[in-house]
């Protein structure tokens, strides 16, 4: 069942929201609001329930010329072999590599994995996305 409710906001904020909706290709304000609420609820669940099962990706750029970096990254990933489902490695240029890791596991453990990879000398950038599969 669909429930209706109203939302009050300034004209300036509404104009920005409408531009956001157009850029993202949502068909209506309602669809955009539903997606934003779902995303917020997922983030809240992951933050408040470290035992929640999450899926996600970790994307990192690193300098492969830093001594031992490839071995360190591999060593960390092997410690999470039960959670890491796949990894894709791309050579960006002569010095830099991009790696995308797809994982599934407990939120707390996956945050630890992100922290460990982020802390390796030569890792320049790490972005991660966690999500839940709703029943």
* Encoded tokens for 82: 């039960």
In angstroms, the Cα distances linking 84 to 20, 44, 88 are 34, 23, 11
Q: Judge whether 98 and 92 are in contact, CB under 8 Å.
A: yes
> How much is the average pLDDT of 9-26?
96
| pLDDT per position as a tens digit, 24-76 | 999 999 999 999 998 898 888 888 888 889 999 999 999 999 999 999 999 99
Looking at residue 39, its pLDDT comes to 87
| pLDDT per position as a tens digit, 68-109 | 999 999 999 999 999 999 999 999 999 999 999 999 999 999
Phi and psi at 131, nearest 5°, equal -145, 165
């Amino acid at each position: 069942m669909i429930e209706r409710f109203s939302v009050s906001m300034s004209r300036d904020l509404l104009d920005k929201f409408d531009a956001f909706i157009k850029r993202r290709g949502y068909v209506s304000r309602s669809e955009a609001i539903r997606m934003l609420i779902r995303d917020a609820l997922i983030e809240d669940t992951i933050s408040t329930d470290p035992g929640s099962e999450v899926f996600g990706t970790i994307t990192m750029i690193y300098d492969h010329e830093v001594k031992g970096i490839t071995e360190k990254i591999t060593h960390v990933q092997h410690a999470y072999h039960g959670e890491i489902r796949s990894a894709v490695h791309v050579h960006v240029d002569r010095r830099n590599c991009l790696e995308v890791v797809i994982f599934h596991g407990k939120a707390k453990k996956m945050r630890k994995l992100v922290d460990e990879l982020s802390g390796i000398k030569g890792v320049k950038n790490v972005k991660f996305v966690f999500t839940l599969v709703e029943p």
